[in-house]
Every structure is written in structure tokens, then in C-alpha cells.
Copies of this chain bind each other. A is one copy, B any other.
Amino acid sequence: MSITDEVVLANQKYAATFNLGGLAKPPARKLAVLACMDARLTVEQFLGLKTGEAHIIRNAGGIATEDALRSLIISHELLGTQEFIVINHTDCGMLTFKDDELLQKLEERTGTTTIAPVHFHPFKNVEDNVRQQVARIKSHPYVREVPVRGFVYDVKSGRLAEVTDAHPRAAQRTA
């Protein structure tokens, strides 16, 4: 039995006692979360969110790509969310490679030269990456009125740490 067959079977059990059929389309708590796809992040669970309460957008890294911005704009403009949260995490796979290395590996394995996507958005520092994604969202004219805060989730402790706007090095220069 494939994993897909297994989860379809699990879904049949879930549906047998399902009682959330009356939920509305707009997220009840008017929140949208952008987080990494990492398997260790069960986002709703570690934020105490129930089914129906928030939009959850996830991609490799928790990056505010054009596609994540598409989702955030739809979330805010059409479905009324009023707060955004960006969540990256410790021990992220995006800290482990470089674009050109991955592209070379893919080209060698498949015999296919570079096609889209050509950027995989790896990063070197998770706090800096969160700041960059928050800034990217804040600067988009279609959602600039929405408050955005950024966090790093620690996969060892299950705890969120907020990433403040001020860059540590900038703060050091001021001190």
C-alpha cells in the first residue's frame, strides 16, 4: 500500500466523525500565516489555531515569493485577513545548499538543462531571511496596510522567537 493510499484511508476515518461542515470561507480569526513546508512544522498546532481560523501558506523556506504574495493579496483583499505572520525555523533545509549547486545536480541527474524555477531561494541566516520576507510583504502596495510580524520556530523546543525589525549589526553600531 502506498503512503497516498494510507492517508486516503486515514481521511475516511477522519470524515466518519467530521462535524465542521458549517465553517465559513473567510478565516474566523482574520489571520494569514506564511511558513516553511518543513515536516516538523505543524503550523496550526503550534499556534493553537483551530480549523477555519487562519489561512496557511507554505513553501520551501517560508519565502515571500511572488506566489506567496499572490496568496496574501487574495487572503486580505477577498477574504478579509487583517494580520500576517511569517515563520521560518531552525535547522531549515534552505540553509544547506546553493542555487548553482542544486541546479547542477538536477541537470546532471535528469539530463535537462536549466528550466524554471531557476532560483530556489536558499539562505544563510534565518533571522535575516525572516526580516527580508517581512520587508518584502510590507513594501507591497496591495497589502501595505496589513501588520506583518516575523518569527523563527525552534524545532528542538517548539518555541517561537520573534524577529525584530532592527538588524543586530545596526543595533551594535548604535550602541
Residues of A within 8 A of B (CB): 2-4, 6-8, 10-15, 18, 20-21, 23, 25-32, 37-60, 63, 65-71, 73-75, 77-79, 82-83, 85, 91, 93-94, 96-97, 102, 105-106, 109-110, 112, 115-117, 119-121, 141-142, 147, 149, 151, 155-160, 162
Contact = CB atoms under 8 A, between A and B. Distances in A.
Given A10-B49, A25-B93, A65-B70, 16 more contacts: A6-B29, A7-B48, A8-B160, A8-B162, A11-B159, A14-B48, A21-B158, A23-B40, A28-B39, A37-B56, A43-B56, A44-B44, A60-B70, A60-B71, A74-B120, A112-B142
A15 B101 CA distance: 36
A78 to B, nearest CB: 6
8 contacts: A32-B37, A37-B55, A39-B51, A39-B54, A44-B45, A45-B51, A66-B116, A112-B141
